[in-house]
Amino acid sequence: MKTLMLGMAMVILFPACLRAAPAKPALEVVVLGSGGPRAFGRAGSSYILVVEGRPRILVDAGPGAFVRIGELHLDLGKVDTVLLTHPHIDHSGDLAAFFNARALTSDGPIVYRVFGPDGAGLFPKTSRFVDLLVGGDGAFAYQKTFGARETFTGRDLAISLDSARTKIVDEDGLVVEEIATHHGDCPSVAYRISYKSVVVVFSGDMDASALTNLVQLAKNADLLIFNCAVLDPPGSPPQLYDLHTPPKKIGEAARESGVKSLLLSHLAPDVEGQEDAVRKSIRASFAGPVEFASDKLRVPVGK
Ligand SMILES: [Zn+2]
């Protein structure tokens, strides 16, 4: 019934998408986790991108992603590309568990590509992060011998805000681009995924100082998934504004980038309880459809 209700919600909120959607949309986002660092029933941030009906890309791997993959009976057989927005635990805590799940459903060798930000301060670069998990001296070194033969390649993405927007995947019509964002002291990037002229953008966690980059990356996207972890000031603890973008500015960014629809995710308990106020704040700038994510929500993107 829950699935039906969610499906109905999407009919109401993304009517154009659904009316024209074929049985297998070119692109579909499956929300594995719509929450953030607090444990209150939502899995940490994580998404599976489905291309032509087949799961292909994992975006973040927050705690709980492993459980949601199983609940949804997702076929991970072609999910070899992982995009990490940043290395905070609520976005990466289930990465090793994902490798485990993928290997146990595979017959042949697996070659993973893991993209994520370069390192800074207490945060390792992404290639080192992967090595610390499943490298030769990693905590889960055994994983390479468990289920399937696995090879891991990490690619570290520039984190300076003046770094150029970069194309990191371009194969069989599937294109992934990224750009640096800013999330307090934690290195972070945002991703734009395109397939057959359909575009979805993932903001990751970011504060408002990176909005110029995000607006550029999200230009004319069909769907922008923006992490909404704070209320407009002064509704949330002051220090959180150094880490997250408030709703009013999310709405402005959505309008400036010309995106067609907005999905708010990474929801915190106080935001979850203030949906009407958040929607109203975004409405002040952005006229397109606005929806709040929930775990296991499936969102067909574009035409
Ligand atoms: Zn987060």
pLDDT digits 0-9 by tens, 248-278: 999 999 999 999 999 999 999 989 989 999 9
Find residue 199's DSSP bridge partners.
194
Tell me the CA–centroid distance for residue 182 and ligand 1, in Å. Answer: 12
Q: Quick one: which of 142, 140, 75 has its CA closest to 106?
A: 75
Residue 19: pLDDT over 70: no
Query: Is the pLDDT reported for residue 8 higher than 90?
Result: no
Cβ–Cβ < 8 Å for 193, 175 = yes
Distance CA 141, CA 259 (A): 42
Q: What are the structure tokens assigned to 130, written together?
A: 């992967």
Q: What mean pLDDT do residues 106-123 have?
A: 94
Separation of CA 252 and ligand 1 centre (Å): 21
pLDDT at 34 over 50: yes
Distance CA 68, CA 280 (A): 31
d(CA 208, CA 187): 15
CA of 147 to the centre of ligand 1 (A): 30
Contact 92, 134 (CB under 8 A): no
Distance 30 CA to ligand 1 centre (A): 18
Peptide bond into 234 cis (omega under 30): yes
Q: What percent of the chain is modeled with pLDDT above 90?
A: 86
Ligand 1 centre distance from Cα of residue 152 (Å): 24
Helix (H, G, I), strand (E, B) or coil at 299: strand
**What is the C-alpha to C-alpha distance for residues 300 and 28, in angstroms, rounded to an integer?**
4
* Per-residue pLDDT tens over the stretch 143-184: 988 888 999 999 999 999 999 999 999 999 999 999 999 999
- Ligand 1 centroid to residue 91 C-alpha, Å: 6
CA 3 to ligand 1 centroid distance, Å: 25
pLDDT single digits (tens) 51-99: 999 999 999 999 999 999 999 999 999 999 999 999 999 999 999 999 9
Rounded to an integer, the average pLDDT of 227-246 is 93
Q: In whole angstroms, how far apart are CA 281 and each of 227, 250, 251?
A: 15, 9, 7
Strand partners, 129: none
- Give the pLDDT band (50/70/90) at residue 23: low
Q: How confident is the model at residue 22 (pLDDT cuts 50, 70, 90)?
A: low
CA 87 – ligand 1 centroid, Å: 9
Distance in Å, CA 148 to ligand 1 centroid: 31
Report the predicted TM-score, pTM, of the whole model to 2 decimal places: 0.92
Tokens 């017959």 belong to residue: 107
For residue 239, the CA-to-ligand 1 centroid distance in Å is 14
Q: How far away, in angstroms, is 42 Cα from ligand 1 center? A: 12
